[in-house]
Structure 1
Amino acid sequence: MKLLDGRTAIITGAGQGIGLAIAGVFAAHGARLVVADVNPDAADAAAEALSDSGAQAVSVRCDVTVEEQVEGLVGTAVGRYGALDVLVSNAGITRDATLRTMTAAQFREVMDVHLLGTWLGMKYAAPHMRERRSGAIVNISSISGKVGLPGQTNYSAAKAGVVGMTKAAAKELAHRGVRVNAIQPGLVRTAMTEALRPEVWQEKLAGVPMGRAAEPAEIGTVALFLASDLSSYMTGAVLEVTGGRHM
């Protein structure tokens, strides 16, 4: 059974990593995709690969911190496919540094991408969903937003903020049939994490009771659950996908 058959989904930060994996899972379940990324080449390549696999996919270059671009992204989805059913706000960056050495610019940049970007996505997606009294928004937070990680005062603050924003929006939109939930991934095997020094990787892995990192598609299947009718009575929920890390 294809859980998203005929539904339109926007995924931000979908040119690589977790976002691309989510797009692949959604494509396998029949979604019509809008692949958004600040890197247009990555977005184009992702959409082309998804289309080659038989999915309907279009790419959009979008900086989620620029309001006009987010508004245009939503407009592209509605204009191309006639509706918007799912938004996954996955775009994110890190600018890790200690509290002593982090600059105000590094702090603001991370906050803008994660908090402002997520808020803008909901602001422009929600009206289309409210009108149809149906829709699912999935915001990607991080376990860093629950426990706080050294060197990530900006990222931990932003990801904690995504949780609060998710719950507030869920309360605003529930009566219109729009559900808003969040995912907090733990250690995920991506190009970024695989670039860590071996001793740092092993230290992080040692804290995972399941003894391994997640594959990006394992975040994708949880996003699929929240985007589909399988979670039809869930809103304001925050699902930890961590292999037991920091439980």
Structure 2
Amino acid sequence: MSSSPSAGTQLPRRVLITGGSSGIGLAVAQLFVQAGSDVGILGRDPGRLDAALAELGSTGPGRAAGVCADVAEDPQVDKAVTDLAGQLGGLDALVTCAGIEGEMGAACEDVTAKSFREVLDVNVVGTFLAVKHALPYLKKSAGSSVTMVGSDSGFVAVPGMLAYNASKGALVQMTRALAVELFDEHGIRVNSACPSIVDTPLARRGLGDEAMDQPSFPLQSAEDIAWTVSYLASHRSRAVNGVNLLSDFGYTGRSSFPA
């Protein structure tokens, strides 16, 4: 498989996506496959993974492969990344989409330590492990990149999302730290896409179908975020590094001044 980008899209040819079997991750995989990239997806639910691969197989012209693994488990991530990089013939880009919400709506004193750790293990440690094990392959590819899917919850907060807010705040700084560490020596760019509410299975679990079907707030689709991710991973954005790109309809830019 060629490692050069498509002349039309300038997208990377070989892309690994964690959390690629549903939600934003699947939308990202679909966009890349449609553009001709070869994609490896990592998911922890075998049924969802098989369904996603079947869907991607009919999308083309790019090819899709998948491995079942828990991103919070180091040996599983190591093996999955090795397997997928082997199937793809290397890696030009990593997109980390795997994430969980934790005990939504629970007050601080009601959140269990076990649940809090689980959110950090998946959202933060899982991202770190994916980057760590993808690095040997990304280093071999010119102009490679890492794009994390974060959240506006890394910048703003509401009650009842303590662990999730903490995890997304950690990704904001991890983006900056990795961008500084990896670019000068290896030329690897690291950025994150940070959307507000997106219509995904995760959001529907937390907010309910009624709130999502008749929203009183601006709502994005998974495909919207896939386009943002594709830009950040694209060779067209080669000067963009260390950016946490907010996609929130301008909410965080609003002043509290009562005018």
Instruction: Indicate whether the TM-score tops 0.5.
Output: yes
In the alignment, is residue 57 of structure 1 matched against residue 64 of structure 2?
yes
Equivalent in the alignment of 1:158: 167
1:143-187 per-residue CA deviation (whole Å, 9 max, x = no partner) reads: 111112211111101000011111101111102110000111101
1:57-106 per-residue CA deviation (whole Å, 9 max, x = no partner) reads: 01110100111111112212221121101111110001122102110011
In the alignment, is residue 72 of structure 1 matched against residue 82 of structure 2?
no
Is this contact kept in 1: 2:40–2:66, CA < 8 A? yes
**Structure 2 unaligned regions, length at least 5:** 1-7, 254-259
In 2, Cα distance between equivalents of 1:184 and 1:44: 28
Amino acid at match of 1:190: T
* % same residue: 34
Aligned length: 241
**Structure 1 unaligned regions, length at least 5:** none
Equivalent in the alignment of 2:153: 144
How big is the shift at 1:3?
3.0
Equivalent in the alignment of 1:2: 9
How big is the shift at 1:47?
1.3
In 2, Cα distance between equivalents of 1:139 and 1:29: 20
Equivalent in the alignment of 1:241: 247
Is this contact kept in 1: 2:101–2:202, CA < 8 A? no
SS across alignment from 1:182: strand
RMSD: 1.9
Amino acid at match of 1:115: V
Q: In structure 2, which of residues 24, 29, 41 is the aligned counterpart of residue 23 of structure 1? A: 29
TM-score (norm 2): 0.87
How big is the shift at 1:193?
2.9
SS across alignment from 1:166: helix
Is this contact kept in 2: 1:15–1:43, CA < 8 A? yes
How big is the shift at 1:134?
3.0
1:108-119 to 2 correspondences below 5 Å: 108-119=117-128
Amino acid at match of 1:144: S
SS across alignment from 1:132: coil
Equivalent in the alignment of 2:257: none
**1:37 and 1:198, CA in 2 relative to 1: closer, same or farther beyond 3 A?**
closer
